[in-house]
Amino acid sequence: MLGKYRWKPKERGKKKTCFWEKCLNFDLACICVVAFLLVSGMGKGEAVWQAFVSAIHVQEGTQRDTSHSQSTLSLQGGESQEAVGLPKNGDSQGTGQTSEGNTEKKKVAITFDDGPHPQYTPEMLAALKERNVKATFFLLGEEVEKYPEIVKQIQEEGHLIGNHSYKHEQLSKLTMDQACAQVTRTNELIYGITGIYPSYLRPPFGDWHKELDCKMNMVEVLWDVDTLDWSIQNHAKIVEKTLNDVQENDIILMHDGYETSVTAAMEIIDTLQKQGYEFVTVDEMIFD
Ligand code: NI
């Protein structure tokens, strides 16, 4: 069912457009304007010229932030922009619809690595249940062996279980056979408890063994927001950092091995739910 698919952190920066792409955009805009005029029967000189000018205006407005040319051209082009149905100047600010909450909820996925932990994983599970939130747990084989009943509980409560290798070693530093063994041994252990082979793999340190690609039919899942909860171990700081960084469709990385991670995760969840976010497991995030 699953092909090779890697969920990598999204690029945050501005999208770069090359010269030819800009040319193509410009040409397409012109063709659209001309086609519209032909269809709507506006063939007269003045109207064509104004629509053409406004098309140039829109192009310049999106490609360059030259306030001078914008203000000059908008004096001429303002009316006909509306006539030909092109976006108006203010439209970029008023995206409106999703933030009104009328449409689909914004999604976010919370993930917990390195467990199961004998104390904090059950605490996390109880708190998630209270909030009706489904999360994804990337488990370590050697911890799975120690706490199989917690693995069973994670599954029974509707969370997704992924593989985080057996011993948390850096896969790229191992031979291919050793790296494979880290993954397959953990898959077998999880299967032995849940009856399901994990389909999702989060390599320790986000470090993939490149030759695993042809060996494993698993989906590699990294993250978008690193809470650094294991290192910070301070409730307020973890919450602040995460809420500053998080955006729609992000995958949040946490660890269910610390008290502060449990309390911080709950405040993060409560806050994001109030902001209209819905928590989903990573499979829903990736394939929906
Ligand atoms: Ni880890």
Do 158 and 275 have their domain in common? Answer: yes
SS3 call for 194: helix
The pLDDT tens digits along the chain (288 residues) read 333 445 555 544 333 444 445 445 555 554 544 454 444 544 444 444 454 444 444 343 333 333 322 322 222 233 333 333 333 333 333 333 444 445 678 999 999 999 999 999 999 999 999 999 999 999 999 999 999 999 999 999 999 999 999 999 999 999 988 999 999 999 999 999 999 999 999 999 999 877 776 577 899 999 999 999 999 999 999 999 999 999 999 999 999 999 999 999 999 999 999 999 999 999 999 887
Out of 40, 62, 92, a domain closes at 92
Please report the pLDDT score of residue 95 as a whole number.
Answer: 34
Which member of 57, 113, 114, 117 is catalytic? 113
Under 8 Å CB-to-CB from 71, ≥6 apart: which residues?
none
Do 246 and 146 have their domain in common? Answer: yes
Do 257 and 118 have their domain in common? Answer: yes
Under 8 Å CB-to-CB from 198, ≥6 apart: which residues?
161, 162, 163, 186, 187, 190, 191, 218
Whether residue 9 lies inside any domain: the answer is: no
6 with 286: CB under 8 angstroms? no
Do 239 and 261 have their domain in common? Answer: yes
Do 55 and 34 have their domain in common? Answer: yes
Q: Is 255 one of the annotated active-site residues of the chain?
A: yes
CA of residue 203 to ligand 1 center, whole Å: 8
Do 69 and 48 have their domain in common? Answer: yes
CA of residue 195 to ligand 1 center, whole Å: 24
Out of 66, 92, 118, a domain closes at 92
Do 118 and 35 have their domain in common? Answer: no
CA distance 28 to 20: 12
CA of residue 113 to ligand 1 center, whole Å: 5
Whether residue 159 lies inside any domain: the answer is: yes
Residues in the chain: 288
Whether residue 206 lies inside any domain: the answer is: yes
CA of residue 164 to ligand 1 center, whole Å: 7
Do 84 and 213 have their domain in common? Answer: no
CA distance 154 to 148: 10
CA of residue 132 to ligand 1 center, whole Å: 25
CA distance 208 to 202: 9
Q: Is 113 one of the annotated active-site residues of the chain?
A: yes
SS3 call for 117: coil
CATH number for the domain harbouring residue 163 = 3.20.20.370
Do 37 and 150 have their domain in common? Answer: no
Whether residue 6 lies inside any domain: the answer is: no
Dihedral of CA 164/256/226/100: which sign? positive
CA of residue 12 to ligand 1 center, whole Å: 24
- Share in percent of the chain as helix, strand, coil (round to 5): 55, 10, 35
Whether residue 49 lies inside any domain: the answer is: yes
- Cβ-based neighbour number of residue 2 at 10 Å: 12
Do 175 and 203 have their domain in common? Answer: yes
CA of residue 69 to ligand 1 center, whole Å: 52
Whether residue 97 lies inside any domain: the answer is: no
Domain extent at residue 218 = 102-287
CA distance 153 to 140: 16
Do 117 and 253 have their domain in common? Answer: yes
Which member of 159, 209, 255, 256 is catalytic? 255
Whether residue 11 lies inside any domain: the answer is: no
Whether residue 65 lies inside any domain: the answer is: yes
Do 253 and 181 have their domain in common? Answer: yes
Number of domains in the chain: 2
CA of residue 143 to ligand 1 center, whole Å: 12
Under 8 Å CB-to-CB from 115, ≥6 apart: which residues?
121, 137, 139, 140, 143, 150, 255, 256, 257
